[in-house]
Amino acid sequence: MNRDQIIERETRWAKRVGYAAIAIVPLYIGSIILDPQGGAVPLAGLDTERFVAIDANSGGLLLSALARSLAFALMTVPLLYVFRAAQARSPRVSSPMIGFVFIGPILLAAQGLISWAAQVQVASDFVSRLGPGGDIYTLLDGLIDDSTMFDVAANLLFPAILGLIVAMVYVPLQAMRVGLMSRFFSTLGMALGASTLFIVPSLSLLALTLWFGWLGFTIIGRAPQGRPPAWDAGEAVPWPKPGEEPAEQKGAAVVEGDAAEVFEQPHDHSARRERAKKRKRKRRQ
């Protein structure tokens, strides 16, 4: 593709991609607000009481899971857009790496829905089997151990997080190299992606969604600092290395001349005064 074709393709999709990235923020925050866990569904205490509360609040849990999963799924849109933009500007971008654009976000979306289904199913079976007697703790443990969906949800979480980390390191790095993202913004994205493995997931993912929202404003040209020049150029515009002049300053005209021409020293008038004195003496004679 030539420069004009690259610019035309990116311009055609910019608004839809940008608004999709911005929508990630309210969807994820909404999922936190809608989530009854921590309120009607206690996070601490007896598991038996928690699963009874899950059965009574399955609708709120579903709405929260749907909003969160949609937020994760939408991450593929700006990631794919930036990946394609970087790929069009540099042959160093590896085509097979595009798979990680989908692996992490889609697996996270699927894991959230499967986890909801597993909890609701176990909670429903547990409440239906409650009786006046019997060991309710053994009953609940048995239902969890026999749940295939619980195992699937648990086994999906690590590869989902790992896939997201790879995408959040590779895509911003390549975008920064061709000038589509600033060094600070790309480094922040990489750091937030890696933090999902070490920090409480809910906090790190919230910060990551805010990063995507800012990326959306950048794509549509509404960020305060504007879009990096590589977007409008349709080709790579690498950032200058530390100590190197920016590209726009390299061709600046050099003013010729000597500073002495501007700041001349005042003339010495002593010789002129001496000649004037000699002329006066001659006239007197």
pLDDT at 216: 96
Strand partners, 41: 37
pLDDT tens digit sequence for 14-49 = 999 999 999 999 999 999 999 888 778 877 778 888
Strand partners, 37: 41
For residue 223, give the 3-state DSSP assignment.
coil
For residue 263, pLDDT over 70 is answered with no
Q: Which residues of 272-284 are buried (b: 16+ CB within 10 A; e: fewer)?
A: eeeeeeeeeeeee
* pTM listed for this prediction: 0.82
The answer to whether the CB of 67 falls within 8 A of the CB of 31 is yes
Amino acid letter, 167: A
Q: From 90, 78, 88, 80, select the one nearest 177 (Cα to Cα).
A: 90
The residue to which tokens 């794919």 are assigned: 80
Comparing 18-32, 41-55, 107-121, 207-221, which segment has the lowest mean pLDDT?
A: 41-55
For residue 44, give the 3-state DSSP assignment.
coil
pLDDT-derived band of residue 237, with 50, 70 and 90 as boundaries? very high
- Residue 91 DSSP symbol: T
